[in-house]
A and B are shown apart, each in its own frame.
Chain A
């Protein structure tokens, strides 16, 4: 039984291809998370401004994106862009676009939470010791907000990684797609191929996400006060 497992991964370039698939997965996740962070900070700060129109617009965007499944967004963008508007983007780019759209909403909510959860007296005590507003932001507000933000951002990263299998549906050759292709070929000769390949991919996702989750938990505990 174990022989069958070893065979699947030894055959041809199967193992190397899986690793290439993993690379695509990580690439899409990393780029999407970075873009989401940048845009999310902007949208999140918009949500804390006093201008009601900006706030309402940001809120609407956030709710809409969070209620619609990411896979649905992915499909709609994929087909609408190419077939209706004739924009032929590489599937990978569409994936990054959609994940960023979603990630930005999640990030914006984190930023809003971190910015509004700081007690008002923090700013006041900064003023009391004679700091300027920008000094208060720099030495008092931002360091605290960042601490509140980071565990959430790391958490968003693992969620992004766990969302990447969706690009399977638009034929991006990431880990899951590569796995399926290997199963299709090897499965004819090797009865146990699908069992081992999917178990292996399951394990890879765990091996990537678990350490990141632990790290986030560690930071959360460390910064509890």
Chain B
């Protein structure tokens, strides 16, 4: 094991990991918002909007992130819309994730029974209050495992960001490969992905336990 290599380049990887985490956090947060809005539109069957939401969800779920990014970064500027690579990365991840998160929330919303809605109405809650206090907390609890899976999936998807000229972990790896391939380089790449993904996974495992203990739906 070449410790000199590791200590020399760990700093480079750490910087790349920081960029990945920031982009992933922004993209995933946005995708949660998009997903929630789309699922509520479909839950309330808002005319026109529900068809748009449906079309968007199908598009985002049935196309690869790489192609979405290629189009955003290399295609759109030719049509007059030039976006920075950071913006592209966040928009791309949010576009992809929004569809997945919408399906996760939809599963949760569908699990909230009709009686719960009526019970909420009969204590005089308004529609927004009903959503806020009765429907969403229960829907969210049901949706947590799907949200977890989506979040891990989206974090892994960030690995393609180097195609739009972002200095992420894969970019650093490729850079170092040019000077000669080594096991240490492999190790650093895997290690840094585990460092950013494992805590997220542990956090969600904790969250899942918490919601299950609350015993929603019992």
Q: Which of A165, A193, A195, A209 contacts B66 (CB 8 A)?
A: A165
Segment from A87-95, A121-129, A135-143, A196-204 that makes contact with B: A196-204
B78 touches A206 (CB 8 A): no
Chain A residues within an 8 Å CB radius of B197 = 67
Bound: A201/B68 CA distance, A = 10
Segment from A51-59, A73-81, A145-153 that makes contact with B: A73-81
B62 touches A67 (CB 8 A): no
CB-CB nearest in chain A for B158: A69
Q: Which of A75, A169, A199 contacts B189 (CB 8 A)?
A: A75
Interface bits B155-198 vs A (CB < 8 Å: 1, else 0): 01111100100000110011001000101001001100110011
What is the distance, in angstroms, from B189's C-beta to the closest C-beta of chain A? Answer: 6
A168 touches B66 (CB 8 A): yes
Q: SS class of chain A's interface: helix, strand, loop or mixed?
A: helix
What is the distance, in angstroms, from A181's C-beta to the closest C-beta of chain B? Answer: 13
A84 touches B181 (CB 8 A): yes
Task: Tell me how many residues of B have a C-beta within 8 Å of chain A.
Answer: 38
CB-CB nearest in chain B for A161: B64
Q: Tell me which residues from 211 to 225 in chain A have a Cβ below 8 Å from any Cβ of chain B.
A: 213
Chain A residues within an 8 Å CB radius of B183 = 80, 84
* Given A176-B70, A198-B71, A205-B67, residue A71 in contact with residue B159 (CB < 8 A): yes
Using a CB–CB cutoff of 8 Å, the interface residues on chain A facing chain B are: 66-72, 75-76, 79-80, 83-84, 158, 162-166, 168-169, 176, 179-180, 183, 191-199, 201-202, 205-206, 209-210, 213
Chain A residues within an 8 Å CB radius of B64 = 162-165, 205
Chain B residues within an 8 Å CB radius of A199 = 71, 75
Query: Is the CB of B61 closer than 8 A to any CB of chain A?
Result: yes
Bound: A196/B74 CA distance, A = 10
Using a CB–CB cutoff of 8 Å, the interface residues on chain B facing chain A are: 58-59, 61-64, 66-68, 70-71, 74-76, 78-79, 152, 156-160, 163, 169-170, 173-174, 177, 181, 183, 186, 189-190, 193-194, 197-198, 201
B75 touches A195 (CB 8 A): yes
Chain A residues within an 8 Å CB radius of B170 = 71-72, 75, 169
Bound: A84/B152 CA distance, A = 31
CB-CB nearest in chain A for B80: A195
What is the distance, in angstroms, from B153's C-beta to the closest C-beta of chain A? Answer: 9
Chain B residues within an 8 Å CB radius of A176 = 66-67, 70
B68 touches A202 (CB 8 A): yes
Chain A residues within an 8 Å CB radius of B169 = 72
Chain A residues within an 8 Å CB radius of B163 = 168-169
Bound: A213/B67 CA distance, A = 18
| 14 chain-A/chain-B pairs, Cβ below 8 angstroms | A66-B152, A72-B189, A79-B181, A80-B183, A176-B66, A180-B70, A195-B75, A198-B74, A198-B75, A199-B71, A205-B64, A206-B62, A206-B63, A213-B62
What is the distance, in angstroms, from B64's C-beta to the closest C-beta of chain A? Answer: 4
Bound: A213/B103 CA distance, A = 13
| A-B contacts besides A80-B181, A84-B181, A213-B61, 19 pairs, CB < 8 Å | A67-B197, A70-B156, A72-B170, A72-B193, A80-B186, A162-B63, A164-B64, A165-B67, A168-B66, A193-B78, A194-B75, A195-B76, A198-B75, A199-B75, A201-B70, A202-B71, A205-B63, A206-B62, A213-B58
